[in-house]
Homo-oligomer: A and B are copies of this chain.
Amino acid sequence: MSDTEQPIHPRKLEIVEAAVACFLENGYHQTGVRDIAAKAGVSLGNLYNHFKGKEGVLAFIAQIEGAELAGFIAALSDPADPRAAIEQFIEGYAAYVSLPENALLGVEILTEATRNPAIANVFAENRDRLIDALAHCLEVGARSGAFASFNDTRAVACVFLDALEGHGLRSLSLKNEDHTTSKALKSFLINGLRC
């Protein structure tokens, strides 16, 4: 967000990594600050030198998760071939969001966000930028005749994200990979764009 980013202390990253591991294994609320510090090999007090607290750690993770969307956004902006761009996005984002670690962290962040404005903001902002990029790509494609033309491209973009993320979340309860549903979802979304 800001260009005045100061270099991040390596210890801070170690703590975040440890926190992610803990959250994935036991969930956000089941994880204690002690657990994080222990797994990071850091003293309990020192964790508070790097973060505002447990919540601060989660907010930082949400920030990072958001940064990981930058790749998708970049690929969708100014696409040479909108249809290919969309298809690649669907493929890639479905894979990204179905990774257990991403799905699990996402839902932990989501639930926390409903009660925590600070985290909710980070979350919403990230998502907004992704929707913009996707909507932009849909518009470009519509202009070039590659897709049908939609009144509200942002709404369609939302539908795509909802569907893909809904799918990712469900993959949490289904331990086994279900490729058939995944394929069905992708083709369903792409078919929905035809003129």
Chain A contact residues, CB within 8 Å of chain B: 26-27, 29-30, 104, 107-108, 110-111, 113-115, 120, 123-124, 127, 150, 152, 154-156, 158-159, 161-167, 169-170, 172-174, 178, 180-181, 183-185, 188, 191-192
Partner pick for A159 among B26, B161, B181, CB 8 A cutoff: B181
A180-B162 in contact given A108-B111, A111-B111, A173-B110 (Cβ < 8 Å): no
Could you tell me the distance in whole angstroms from the C-beta of A59 to the nearest C-beta in chain B?
Answer: 15
Residue of B nearest to A166 (CB): B166
Decide: B192 and A170 in contact? CB cutoff 8 A: no
**B173 near A185 (CB under 8 angstroms)?**
no
Taking A123-B173, A155-B181 as known contacts, 9 extra A-B pairs with beta carbons closer than 8 A to each other, sorted by chain A number, are: A26-B115, A110-B172, A110-B173, A124-B173, A155-B185, A158-B170, A158-B178, A162-B169, A165-B166
Tell which of B27, B113, B170, B184 touches A156, judged by Cβ atoms closer than 8 Å: B184
Within the oligomer, what is the number of copies of this chain? 4
Cβ B107 vs Cβ A173 within 8 A: no
CB distance from A139 to the nearest CB of B (A): 15
Distance to closest chain B CB from A121 (angstroms): 10
Query: What residue in chain B is nearest A172 (Cβ atoms)?
Result: B114
